[in-house]
Structure 1
Amino acid sequence: MKVLILLGGNEGDTPTIFQLAIELIARRAGRVVAVSSLYESSPWGFEAKRNFLNCVLELETTLEPEVLLDTLLKVEGELGRKRPEGIGYASRPIDIDILFIDNLVIDSDALIVPHPRLHLRRFTLLPLNELWAGWLHPVFGKTVGDLLQDCEDQGMVKLHSHSLEP
């Protein structure tokens, strides 16, 4: 299966944490085929002292979707992510979100695919558009490029100077 994944974070040495995440994901979940540029963005949905970094990676995997989710959550935990109960958006060293799995539509208690808010967030759409502009959203029937063009999010998003390796 082809999976598009968003990495985000704003605590610690984010580029190093992302590179470690990419290596762990490749070891445990499949082959990382491509990684977008790194983007810097203002926090979305809350106030924070530091901006976020984000990138999108393409993963080829044979893992079932919920097994993949469990694997990614374990990688998050190993890299310092804590999920305190009752707290919504917060600063974190890493967040790993599944954006798309092939053209699947999944709506379970554990996993919703495509990611339910990806079309609202420029910090997701810009790195996604960099390598996968023609990817068709299976629910909206629009390409990533069209979703980016229609996105009303005005938050700051800019290219970051650091690059990552698959």
Structure 2
Amino acid sequence: MNKVFLGIGGNIGDKHKNFKLALELIDHKLGKIIQKSSVYETPPWGFHCDDVFWNQVVVIETKLEAEELLWRIHELEADFGRERGNERYSSREMDIDILYFNDEFMESKDLIVPHPRIHERRFVLVPLVEIAPEMKHPLRRLTSIEMLENCLDKSVIKKVKMDE
């Protein structure tokens, strides 16, 4: 079984409904969710827009290998209307990133794991610290807490009250 950390986020549509559905689809199509952080409200990162994002980190156990997992993630994102284009950052109903795949490093045309910008993004680090504070990044050899302490992103991250 592979242990995978996923970052999920979105800023348009009914965010509450989208997150609930995304968690159901992840559990059904990608792997069993074994842990999840709180949901956090965060400003856009890398571009400007008026809609705030919601972000969360979930941990799954999956039999899928990394490339097939990525392919299924793209299918799941398409179910939310995501069209992959030239814009790197844009508003979307749901975005799912593979943050960690076991403690492996891999790099291909379509996938780099660990995610190359974990250490730059408070919207990933804050929920990651909540569920895996002492986990070490396999390349940087820093814990989640250490990466958050060193993060240059000073965005304000607020916990969202979710009714289960």
Indicate the TM-score class for this superposition, using the shorter chain for normalisation. over 0.9
Worse overlay, 154-163 or 116-125: 154-163
Q: Work out the CA distance in 2 between the residues paired with 1:86 and 1:29.
A: 26
Q: Work out the CA distance in 2 between the residues paired with 1:163 and 1:34.
A: 17
1:41 matches 2:42: yes
Matches within 5 A, 1:1-166: 1-83=2-84, 85-162=85-162
Give the superposition deviation at 1:147: 0.5
**Residue identity in the other structure for 1:28:** K
Structure-2 change in CA distance of 1:141 and 1:79 (3 Å): same
SS in 1 for 2:146: helix
Give the superposition deviation at 1:88: 2.2
Q: Work out the CA distance in 2 between the residues paired with 1:43 and 1:156.
A: 11
**Residue identity in the other structure for 1:116:** P
Give the superposition deviation at 1:129: 0.5
Q: Work out the CA distance in 2 between the residues paired with 1:146 and 1:163.
A: 31
Count of aligned pairs? 163
> Percent identical across equivalent pairs?
41
Gap runs ≥5 in structure 2: none
Runs of 4+ in 1 over 2 A off after TM superposition: none
**Residue identity in the other structure for 1:63:** L
**Residue identity in the other structure for 2:121:** R
Deviations 1:107-141, CA, capped at 9 Å, x for gaps? 11011000000100000000011011111100000
SS in 2 for 1:142: coil
Deviations 1:74-132, CA, capped at 9 Å, x for gaps? 1110022122x322211110100000011000111011000000100000000011011
Gap runs ≥5 in structure 1: none
